[in-house]
Amino acid sequence: MTEYLLLRHRDIPAIDQLAVYRENGGFAAFEKALKQLQPGDVLTAVKASGLRGRGGAGFPTGTKWSFLPETIWPHYVVANADESEPGTFKDREILERNPFQFLEGLMLACFAVQARVGYVYLRGEFWPLTQKLNRCILELEQAGLLGDHVLGTDVSLRIYTHLGAGAYICGEETALLESIEGKLGQPRLRPPFPAVSGLFARPTVINNVETLTNVPLIIARGADWFRTLGTEDSPGVKIFSLSGCVNHPGNYELPFGTTFRTLIEQYGGGTPDGRAIKAIMPAGASSTILVADAQTLDTPMDYKSVAAIGGQLGSASVIVVDDSVNMADLVNQTVHFFKHESCGKCTPCREGTYWMAHITARLAGDQPDAQDAALLGSVARQMQNKCLCALGEFSTMAVVSALEKFPQDFGIS
C-alpha cells in the first residue's frame, strides 16, 4: 500500500490536529460541496462510487441516502460509533487518530441529505474518545466550519455526540435511535424504516464511522478514482481488524479482494508457534465459522467472494482460531456474549440465547454428549428467522456452523 486513505495518521501522525488536517487537504471537499455543489451532486458521486456500508451489512451508501423523502423535515444523519462486535476495533482507531476525516464525512452526509443536525452515537466505553471528539467539534465551530452560516453561506450545521452506556444492541440502528431518544435500547418493528421515520420520527440516515470516513475522498478525488480500488462488487479499501491466534493482531487497511492468507500470513505474521489454522471467523462473533482449508485461505475478502464460500464478510473482523482451540468452548463463549447482550424484547432471542448458553457450557466440559449437541442445533435452528432484529440471528451463526463443521468437538463421532 503506497498511501493510507482511512488510517491516514499512519502517514501523517499529527492529522488529529485541525491545522494539520487542513494542510493535508482536509475540509477542501466540504468547502467545495458547500460553495460549488448541490446536495444532489454529493449524493450522485457517492452513489457512483459504489461505496458500501462498512458496519456489516454492506448496503450501498448512496442508495441509502436517496431513500429520504423530500416531503418530511427535518432530516437527521446519525453516525454509528457503537462498535461492539467482538473482534471489531477499527472505528476506535479512526476516532482516536483521524477524527476530522470522519467528521468531514459526516458533515458531507448532512449536506447531501440537507440535515442541519448530525449525531454521533458512541458506545459508553468510548468515553475518552467522546471527550476528544467534543473538542474537535468545538474547534470546528470556532473555525466557522460548524454552526450558523457555515463558511459564510446560508447553511447551518451542528454536530452533537451522544454517549451510550454499555449495550451491544445499540449498534442495531433502530435500537440506537431509541437510545438517543432516551429509551431502552431495543429494536423497533419495521416498517416504518428509519429513512422515513427515524430519529424523533423524522427521516434519518444512519452510517458507520468507517463508511463516512470514505466520503471526503470520494468528493475530493471522484467516484471513478474510488472505483480503481478494490473489486467491482466491493470498491475501495477496507480496514480489516485481525485478532485471535495471530502474531501481529491489529487493523490493516487493504483493498477489498485481498485474500485471507495474505492478511493472516503476510500482515498478521501467522499463528503463534506456527500452529495450524483451524478456523476463521471473518465477521467477528456473528460469523459463520469457516474451515481454514486452502480454498478458504485463498478466498478474496470482498462481500461477493466470502458469500460464495458460505460466509459473510460483515464488518471484516477476522478472528483466527488455531488448532489448540476446542470449538465447543469457543461457541460457548460467543453464545455467552449474545446471552448477556440480548435486549430481552423478543422471546426467541431472550430464551434461545439462555438455553444455548447452558447447553454449550455442558458441551465445553469434560464429557460432551451427542444428545446435547442435537438439542443445541435444534434450539439454534428454531431461533433462525424468528428474531425481531439481526442480532438474535447472529447468535446462532457460530453454533450452527461449528456443529456442522467440527462435530468431533461436540462429542459427535
Partner 1 sequence: MNLLLQQSSAEVEQILVRYPAEHRRAAVMPLLFLAQRTTGRIDSQALADIAEITGLSTTDVASIMGFYTLFHAEEDGGGRFRIQVCTDMPCALRGARQFLAAFCEALGIQPGQTTPDGLITVEEVKCLAACDHAPFLQVQGDGELVDYPDQTVESALALVETLRQKPWARY
Print the binding letters for residues 69-88 with partner 1: x by CB under 8 A, - otherwise. Answer: --------------xxxxxx
User: From the CB of 88, what's the least distance to partner 1, in Å?
Assistant: 6
Q: Which is nearer to partner 1, 21 or 337 (CB)?
A: 337
Among the listed residues 181, 224, 232, 293, the single contact to partner 1 using CB under 8 A: 181
Residue 406 in contact with partner 1, rule: CB under 8 A: no
Query: Alpha helices of 285-346 — where are they, by DSSP H?
Result: 294-297, 303-308, 327-341
Residue 392 in contact with partner 1, rule: CB under 8 A: no
Cell digits for 367? 464429557
Among the listed residues 187, 194, 249, 282, the single contact to partner 1 using CB under 8 A: 249
Print the binding letters for residues 185-224 with partner 1: x by CB under 8 A, - otherwise. Answer: x--------------x------------------------
Smallest Cα–Cα separation from 304: which of 240, 231, 394, 254?
231
For residue 29, CA distances in Å to 25, 42, 81 come to 8, 10, 22
Residue 293 in contact with partner 1, rule: CB under 8 A: no
Spatial contact of 105 and 214, defined as CB atoms under 8 Å apart = yes
Binding-site residue total for partner 1 (CB under 8 A)? 50
Residue 149 in contact with partner 1, rule: CB under 8 A: no
- 396 CB-contact burial (10 Å; exposed 0-12 / middle 13-18 / buried 19+): buried
Among the listed residues 34, 155, 330, 356, the single contact to partner 1 using CB under 8 A: 330
Among the listed residues 128, 144, 192, 310, the single contact to partner 1 using CB under 8 A: 128
Among the listed residues 108, 157, 167, 403, the single contact to partner 1 using CB under 8 A: 167
Provide the β-strand partners of residue 81: 122
Three-class SS of residue 166? coil
Smallest Cα–Cα separation from 111: which of 75, 140, 143?
75
Spatial contact of 123 and 84, defined as CB atoms under 8 Å apart = yes
Residue 166 in contact with partner 1, rule: CB under 8 A: yes
Compute the distance between CA of residue 132 and CA of residue 199 in angstroms, rounded to an integer. 25
Spatial contact of 172 and 389, defined as CB atoms under 8 Å apart = yes
User: From the CB of 135, what's the least distance to partner 1, in Å?
Assistant: 14
Residue 174 in contact with partner 1, rule: CB under 8 A: no
Three-class SS of residue 68? coil
User: From the CB of 330, what's the least distance to partner 1, in Å?
Assistant: 6
Residue 282 in contact with partner 1, rule: CB under 8 A: no
User: From the CB of 249, what's the least distance to partner 1, in Å?
Assistant: 4
Residue 92 in contact with partner 1, rule: CB under 8 A: yes
Q: Which is nearer to partner 1, 46 or 173 (CB)?
A: 173
Spatial contact of 126 and 81, defined as CB atoms under 8 Å apart = yes
Kind plus residue range of the DSSP H or E element containing 117: strand 115-122
Among the listed residues 22, 32, 116, 162, the single contact to partner 1 using CB under 8 A: 162
Cell digits for 176? 440506537
What backbone phi and psi angles, to 5 degrees, belong to 361?
A: -65, -40
Among the listed residues 80, 174, 179, 204, the single contact to partner 1 using CB under 8 A: 179
Residue 184 in contact with partner 1, rule: CB under 8 A: yes
Identity of the residue numbered 3: E
Provide the β-strand partners of residue 139: none
Query: Residue 129, Cβ neighbours under 10 Å: how many?
Result: 21
User: From the CB of 340, what's the least distance to partner 1, in Å?
Assistant: 6
User: From the CB of 281, what's the least distance to partner 1, in Å?
Assistant: 9
Spatial contact of 27 and 196, defined as CB atoms under 8 Å apart = no
Residue 269 in contact with partner 1, rule: CB under 8 A: no
Among the listed residues 112, 163, 277, 301, the single contact to partner 1 using CB under 8 A: 163
What sign does the CA torsion over 83, 226, 280, 356 have? Answer: positive
The contact set with partner 1 (CB under 8 A) reads 83-89, 91-92, 123-128, 160, 162-168, 179-185, 200, 241-245, 249-251, 284-285, 319, 321, 325, 330, 333-334, 337, 340-341
